[in-house]
């Protein structure tokens, strides 16, 4: 019995060591980390360069409160991140995780509205399903009823539009008309709400745990940007999972040349070494807020020098090892291999993803797109089987409107073809056992 509690009961194996893509528990059992934890460990475990950078920083200073000091680590990381963003995103605000980053993005948008005489704007439209975090503000834009329902009386839920699930609606994701069809639902919603009340639209460029690596259809992102511009609505891009190379480019936005007003990122930036997140904002939004008295928001650990030094070393590793390009190449191979599994295993109804953010979805009838019955608890059963076999994958049951079980396969971006072979073999054997 442990004094810890997270989700449910039962004690998990105790982690002893982790290196690269592998982890060992205290009984000496080895696991292949096929989900980078929760799509976090983008550069793999225990990279010596990151450990050395952390040690160097710890020997200099471990904390400087952001209202008392700038630190070399936070200034350097801010400059480095700004250099990796679309040109107009120049101002960086550090936090310690994804939910904090999302909260910051929404509060930044609101304070900009207040500072520019647009106080009537407060609604942040989001998508259903979606996941933006577990704090109450981030939950208010999360489209995931099982997580939001218990807390609804404690927060002000925000308006939703459907996520563009073309594969379920039988629409061609490569046809621009499909992208426009879903994007236009945003415009309709803005008009229904009253454009003067709408502050921002928040979305994940490629869906994560909520939709299982859902990639937007052609034309969607471009149209979304046009619609936001037309109605003075800010575009907040939640790159918490997709950022730091996961989809094959440093930001997911790059696939569509998208120009968000605010980007939030976290997971792959600290890469599991430290709790770290960042909000990166268009200069034009920041200046009026600073002129109006400053950004009334901030967390004690923001800009922590150890976290920033680690983040800087993580970005170095991503660049020096060419991990964005590797994620793109290995992601293509992984998708092809997952399609191979789909041919063999009837139960796989869809395969999708971008870079090394990939997923497959279980269906009882592939043509009719029928999900497995909820009582089967298929996602949990499958993940447990794989885990017993020493393969870690990540899974969720998608809620709201459509309930499918998807399995995310998202190894660290340092994965090689040999690692992919091992993952596919593990999935194949687990699917045989699951059937
Ligand atoms: N946004 C997205 C897209 C995420 O995937 C997550 C976490 O899974 C979050 C926000 C919340 O991040 P955190 O768990 O670090 O608070």
Count how many Cα atoms sit within 13 Å of the Cα of residue 296 in the half-sphere of its side chain.
7
**pLDDT band, very low/low/confident/very high, at 377 (cuts 50, 70, 90):** confident
Ligand 1 midpoint to CA 132 (Å)? 5
Cα-based torsion angle of the residue sequence 268, 274, 277, 283 in order, rounded to the nearest 10 degrees: -100
Q: What average pLDDT does this structure show over 114-141?
A: 97
What would the CATH number be for the domain defined by 50-320? 3.40.640.10
Residue whose CA lies nearest to ligand 1 atom number 13:
98
Q: How far is CA 266 from the centre of its chain?
A: 8
Residue 105 has pLDDT above 90, yes or no: yes
Q: pLDDT class for 435, splitting at 50, 70, 90? A: confident
**Partners of 163 in the β-ladder:** none
Atom of ligand 1 nearest to the CA of 133: 11
Q: What pLDDT score does 401 carry?
A: 53
Atom of ligand 1 nearest to the CA of 138: 10
Is the model's pLDDT at 396 over the cut of 80?
A: no
pLDDT of res. 414: 98
Residues in the chain: 435
Q: Where are the domains of the chain?
A: 15-47+322-434, 50-320
Q: 99 in ligand 1 pocket by Cβ < 6 Å?
A: yes
Give the pLDDT mean for 266-280. 98
CATH of domain 15-47+322-434: 3.90.1150.10
**Region 220-245 average pLDDT:** 98
Distance 130 CA to ligand 1 centre (A): 10
Q: What is the pTM of this model?
A: 0.97
ipTM above 0.95, yes or no: yes
Q: Please give the full DSSP string across 232-271, using - where no structure is assigned.
A: T-EEEEE-TTTTTTTTSSSSGGGGGT---SEEEE-HHHHT
- The band of 419, judged by pLDDT with boundaries at 50, 70 and 90, is very high
Gap from CA of 117 to ligand 1 centroid (Å): 31
197: nearest Cα among 113, 107, 121, 124: 121
Instruction: Report whether 372 contacts 362 (CB < 8 A).
Output: yes
Q: Note whether 239 and 268 are within 8 A (CB).
A: no
> Is 209 near ligand 1, meaning CB less than 6 Å away?
yes
Task: Find, among 202, 60, 67, 177, the residue nearest to 123 by Cα.
Answer: 202
Quick check: 276 and 310 in contact, CB under 8 A? yes
């Amino acid at each position: 019995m442990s004094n810890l509690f997270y989700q449910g009961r039962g004690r998990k194996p105790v982690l002893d060591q982790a290196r690269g893509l592998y982890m060992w528990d205290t009984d000496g059992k080895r696991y292949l980390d096929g989900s980078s934890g929760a799509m976090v460990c983008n550069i793999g475990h225990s990279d010596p360069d990151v450990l050395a950078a952390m040690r160097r920083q710890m020997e200099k200073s471990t904390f400087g409160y952001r209202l008392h000091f700038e630190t070399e680590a936070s200034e350097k990381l801010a400059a480095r991140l700004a250099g990796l963003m679309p040109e107009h995103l120049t101002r960086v605000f550090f936090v310690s995780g994804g939910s904090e980053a999302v909260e910051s993005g929404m509060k930044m948008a609101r304070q900009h509205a207040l500072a520019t005489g647009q106080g009537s704007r407060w609604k942040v439209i989001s998508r259903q399903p979606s996941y933006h975090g577990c704090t109450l503000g981030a939950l208010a834009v999360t489209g995931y009823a099982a997580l939001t329902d218990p807390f609804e009386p404690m927060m002000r839920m925000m308006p939703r539009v459907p996520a563009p699930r073309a594969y379920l609606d039988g629409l061609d994701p490569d046809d621009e008309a499909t992208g426009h069809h879903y994007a236009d639902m945003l415009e309709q919603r803005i008009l229904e709400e009253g454009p003067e009340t709408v502050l921002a639209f928040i979305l994940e460029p490629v869906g994560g745990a909520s939709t299982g690596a859902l990639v937007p259809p052609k034309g969607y992102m471009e149209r979304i940007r046009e619609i936001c511009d037309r109605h003075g609505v800010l575009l907040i891009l939640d790159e918490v999972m997709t950022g730091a190379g996961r989809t094959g480019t440093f930001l997911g936005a790059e696939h569509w040349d998208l120009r968000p007003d605010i980007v939030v990122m976290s997971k792959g930036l600290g890469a599991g070494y430290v709790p770290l997140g960042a909000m990166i904002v268009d200069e034009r939004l920041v200046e009026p807020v600073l002129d109006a008295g400053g950004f009334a928001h901030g967390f004690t650990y923001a800009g922590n020098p150890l976290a920033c030094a680690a983040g800087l070393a993580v970005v170095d590793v991503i660049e020096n090892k060419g991990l964005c390009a590797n994620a793109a190449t290995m992601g293509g191979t992984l998708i092809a291999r997952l399609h191979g599994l789909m041919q063999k295993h009837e139960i796989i109804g869809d395969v999708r993803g971008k870079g090394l953010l990939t997923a497959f979805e279980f269906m009882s009838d592939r043509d009719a797109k029928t999900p497995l019955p909820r009582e089967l608890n298929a996602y949990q059963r499958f993940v447990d089987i794989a885990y017993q076999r020493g393969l870690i994958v990540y899974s969720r049951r998608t809620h709201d409107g459509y309930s499918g079980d998807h399995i995310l396969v998202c190894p660290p971006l340092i994965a090689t073809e040999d690692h992919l072979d091992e993952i596919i073999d593990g999935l194949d054997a687990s699917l045989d056992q699951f059937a």
